[in-house]
Amino acid sequence: DSGVTQTPKHLITATGQRVTLRCSPRSGDLSVYWYQQSLDQGLQFLIQYYNGEERAKGNILERFSAQQFPDLHSELNLSSLELGDSALYFCASSVYPGSYEQYFGPGTRLTVT
C-alpha cells in the first residue's frame, strides 16, 4: 500500500457525460500527478500540482481539468467523455516536484460506453 488513495475504483459512464476522479496523496506529500494509461499503453502524464498550484501540464485534453485543494487532495474532471477516454487513471504523489520518487495510487478504471 503506497499511502495514496483514489476513488472510485471503477466508473462506468456514457459518452458525453462528465466525471470527477479523486485522489488523496501520501501524508506529507505536497505534489500530485495525474496519469492516463490506456489498454496496453504506457503512462501518459496529464498534469502536476504542487501545494495547490498547477506546476506542469502534459498531454492533457482541454476537456480535462484538475485542481488541488488546500487539504492537498486533488480532483481530475473529465467532461464530454468519448469512448477513447476509457482508461486507467492514476494519481501519484511526491514530497515536492524535484524529489522525483513518485508513489502511485491504485487507480480509477474508467469505462465510457
Partner 1 sequence: EDKVVQSPLSLVVHEGDTVTLNCSYEVTNFRSLLWYKQEKKAPTFLFMLTSSGIEKKSGRLSSILDKKELFSILNITATQTGDSAVYLCAVGADSNYQLIWGAGTKLIIKP
Q: Is 101 in the site for partner 1 (CB under 8 A)?
A: yes
Q: Is 45 in the site for partner 1 (CB under 8 A)?
A: yes
Q: Which is nearer to partner 1, 62 or 101 (CB)?
A: 101
Residue selected from 48, 68, 74, 93 as contacting partner 1 according to rule CB under 8 A:
48
Residue selected from 90, 93, 110, 112 as contacting partner 1 according to rule CB under 8 A:
90
Residues 68-87, interacting with partner 1 (CB under 8 A)? none
CB atoms within 10 A of CB 12: 11
Phi, psi of 73 (to 5 degrees): -70, 160
CB 19 within 8 A of CB 110: yes
Contacts with partner 1 by CB under 8 A lie at 2, 33, 42-43, 45, 48, 55-56, 58, 90, 97-98, 100-107
